[in-house]
Amino acid sequence: MSQAQERPLLEARGIVYRYGAINALKGVDLHVGRGEAVCVIGPNGAGKTTLARVAGGLYRPAKGTLLVNGRPLSRRPHEAVARGIGSVLEGRHLFVEQNVRTNLELGCYHGNVPKQVVEERLERVMDLFPVLRKRADQQTSTMSGGEQQMVAVGRALMAEPEILILDEPSMGLSPKITGEVFDALAALRESGLSILLIEQNAPLAFELADRGYLLRQGEVVVEGSIEELTNDEVVRSAYLGA
């Protein structure tokens, strides 16, 4: 497992996010080091999706700071991509009337990426998910949920991010496809890509991550190494069936 560097690649400091009068996040602190995989677990309504969207530059918090390589992020999605953040949102948000290749190529929309480089990135994504090579010309709406999740991950990777943020990637997938997706994520982690994984399935998240956070009602209530989380009584009783 990789260790976090002294300066985190991604750092959230005192993040507060509100939906009207409701505080969805209440001063959340979190960091991900270079080459590190970090998970956030928690029940429905804990604020996990909100945290994923703030960390990915999609939501602007009411208070707090989001830092990438020590510099504040302006919280605009296009800047987040340019600064090395790739997001795979819950629900995937694909252009389902377009084919697989087009959806993947849209991951290179920022900047002037030469065609040859786009093709090289496509090859790497299709090596990671071989089924996408077979489905390259297939309309995305006709694919299974698991295959669409692979497209969503592949699209984020086309921008060659430094950190990949995933929100509930196992949701709605069969155990077989979940295994394939997480095998690919493990390979990405081993290649040095940083990962922030938002995932309700704690045992699955713990297999991938170096460290983790337990989020409840918008607050971090437990954090530490996977060993520490596994031995925590709150985590064990609520998420590990012990």
User: Using one digit for the tens of pLDDT, what is the confidence trace for 124-175?
Assistant: 999 999 999 999 999 989 998 889 999 999 999 999 999 999 999 998 888 9
Query: In this structure, is residue 209 part of a structural domain?
Result: yes
SS3 annotation, 81-134 = HHCCEEEECCCCCCCCCCEHHHHHHHHHCCCCCCHHHHHHHHHHHHHHCHHHHH
Side by side, the strands of the sheet bearing 219-225 are: 85-88, 163-167, 194-198, 37-41, 211-216, 219-225
Domain assignment present for 1: no
CA dihedral 199, 169, 79, 58 (to 10 degrees): -60
17 CB neighbour count, 10 Å cutoff: 22
More confident residue, 113 or 183: 183
CB crowding 42-66: b at 16 or more within 10 Å, else e: beeebbbbbbbbbbbbbbebeebeb
CATH number of the domain within which 78 lies: 3.40.50.300
Report the distance separating Cα 22 and Cα 53, nearest Å.
Answer: 17
5 in any annotated domain: no
> Which residues fall within 8 angstroms of residue 128, CB to CB, at 6 or more apart?
154, 157, 184, 187, 188
Helix (H, G, I), strand (E, B) or coil at 59: coil
pLDDT of 224 higher than 50: yes
Give tens-digit pLDDT for 21-37.
Answer: 899 999 999 999 999 99
Residue 21 lies in a domain: yes
Residue 100 to residue 84: CA distance in whole angstroms: 23
Q: Calculate the average pLDDT of the chain.
A: 90
Residue 171 in any domain: the answer is yes
Q: What is the pLDDT of residues 48-91, one digit of tens each?
A: 999 999 999 889 999 999 999 999 987 566 788 888 999 998 87
- Is 72 within the bounds of a domain? yes
Q: Which of 128, 85, 90, 129 is nearest to 107 (CA)?
A: 85
pTM of the predicted model as reported, rounded to 2 decimal places: 0.91
pLDDT of residue 75: 59
Residues of the domain holding 14:
10-239
CA distance 236 to 39: 16
Give the three-class secondary structure for 207: helix
In a domain, 74, yes or no: yes
Contact 140, 132 (CB under 8 A): no
Q: Residue 183 falls within a domain, yes or no?
A: yes
Q: Number of folded domains in the chain? A: 1
